[in-house]
Structure 1
């Protein structure tokens, strides 16, 4: 409805200008970064679909990174239902906008001339709806489709993770390592990283395992594990307040394997000639976006 009335376009265009002024980025990447916390990694690409074929490689990387670094407003209720603080999610998303652009430009500096340098492109106003009731109906349908997509991805990813865990546990028995799982392996790999985020010593392994689970599966699975109390006290209740806050900030992003596939599919469909390039830089953008998300957690850890 708000998109039909033009409120979303007005807000995003002004936010895009603000981001452009602060970060000195091009119009397309500024708009996408500003829209990412509101629309998400798939929908925000539609705002600049007419420019995707002409974007520089650095712009493309920045747009993808912004999508990986944040979560969308449409999924906010799902996280809150799991027990995550809405305040922390919203704050993390806003902080991730400049973080994602800054880190993306460090990882993939601009070496070409952007066609939207110095101006913010306006999102299209024509949404195709006949009236506001039509817009509300389309919005509801989009929400349902998104929910089903998220649910389907969750089922598929959780099944794959469980299969991998089963195989690792089975192999671990042969070398006398009990409870060997992907979560355990990645948790120990990311242990130093969690320490650098400022997590209290007694909770470092817990947070590092959550970070690994988020990257392997997705943030929903990680948040669910953090707050799940179905088999006794939740992990969150056993952590310090500082560790809880850092974990909620560090997990607040779409940087995971399933999101890589979604971005490649979406951008490849919108810009077929760039699909190869999108596939080539997708992993880099995902890692950069994930780091941007954890940078917000590191900043927060300095003030709590």
Structure 2
């Protein structure tokens, strides 16, 4: 997994560099989700372009929101290549799969806990509101979340699954092609906390909300650029 490549350097990174790493987790979509999205529509070229555009956009936004103010111990000259100790391809593959198991297990457990907490909050809040005559559940917020903060007709139609204009569909593709969602935040933060030294846990947890906002801004920037270039 990608996090295994940066694991040896987590202890020496500055707070701004940790923020960049975490923001990169919210920019773009993972390969598995990317493949699923390709099978759902005809905007494969725009999905690929959106993922590539989030790389410079995410790094730029991350440095704007949390500039580097410390002296970075890691520089281009201080990073040494990691030499593998395995002797065969089979041994390297086995060790790589074994080292990825804790990360996969951590992601799975985090998602289960997040879903359980959301169900608990939904049940508690719904019961309290039902006692005073209101029937409100978290599912009722789904239509609002689909609009992505917009109230125009194209956003409403895209949220309802209706056909929209070509330009609006392209802009929505760039705006939504990211992992910057609330359910992803505990996954990214906890995975990085798991592979980082214990002394860096506070720094990682301290920049998670800013990193999530960075991912949102990078995709919105890409959507603005796409809106300027794509014509009706």
Normalised-by-shorter TM-score class = 0.7 to 0.9
Q: Equivalent residue of 1:70, what SS?
A: coil
Instruction: Tell me if the contact between 1:247 and 1:297 (Cα under 8 Å) persists in the aligned partners.
Output: yes
Instruction: Tell me if the contact between 1:48 and 1:123 (Cα under 8 Å) persists in the aligned partners.
Output: no
Report the counterpart of residue 45 of structure 2 in structure 1: 87
Q: Equivalent residue of 1:82, what SS?
A: coil
Match of 2:5 among 47, 53, 56: 47
Match of 2:153 among 171, 177, 202: 202
Equivalents in 2 of 1:159, 1:90: separation in Å?
Answer: 34
Q: Is 1:289 the counterpart of 2:215 in the alignment? A: yes
Equivalents in 2 of 1:278, 1:262: separation in Å?
Answer: 12
Q: What root-mean-square deviation, in Å, do the aligned CA atoms of Structure 1 and Structure 2 show?
A: 4.2
Q: Is 1:97 the counterpart of 2:73 in the alignment? A: no
Instruction: Pick closer, same or farther for the CA change 1:47–1:204 going to 2, 3 Å.
Output: same
Report the counterpart of residue 301 of structure 1 in structure 2: 227
After TM superposition, give the deviation of residue 119 of structure 1 in Å: 4.4
Which segments of 5 or more consecutive residues in structure 1 lack a partner in the other structure?
1-42, 193-200, 211-233
Quick one: higher RCO (CA 8 Å, sep 6+), 1 or 2?
Answer: 2
Q: Equivalent residue of 2:6, what SS?
A: coil
Trace 1:212-223 onto structure 2 (pairs within 5 A): none
> What is the total number of aligned residue pairs between the two structures?
226
Equivalents in 2 of 1:240, 1:285: separation in Å?
Answer: 32
**What CA deviation, in whole Å up to 9, does each residue of 1:23-73 have, x standing for no partner?**
xxxxxxxxxxxxxxxxxxxx3332121111111111110111111112122
Instruction: Tell me if the contact between 1:255 and 1:289 (Cα under 8 Å) persists in the aligned partners.
Output: yes
Report the counterpart of residue 142 of structure 2 in structure 1: 183
Instruction: Pick closer, same or farther for the CA change 1:79–1:180 going to 2, 3 Å.
Output: closer
Report the counterpart of residue 66 of structure 1 in structure 2: 24
* TM-score where L is the length of structure 1: 0.59
Report the counterpart of residue 177 of structure 2 in structure 1: 252
Q: Is 1:275 the counterpart of 2:226 in the alignment? A: no
After TM superposition, give the deviation of residue 101 of structure 1 in Å: 0.9
Instruction: Tell me if the contact between 1:84 and 1:248 (Cα under 8 Å) persists in the aligned partners.
Output: no
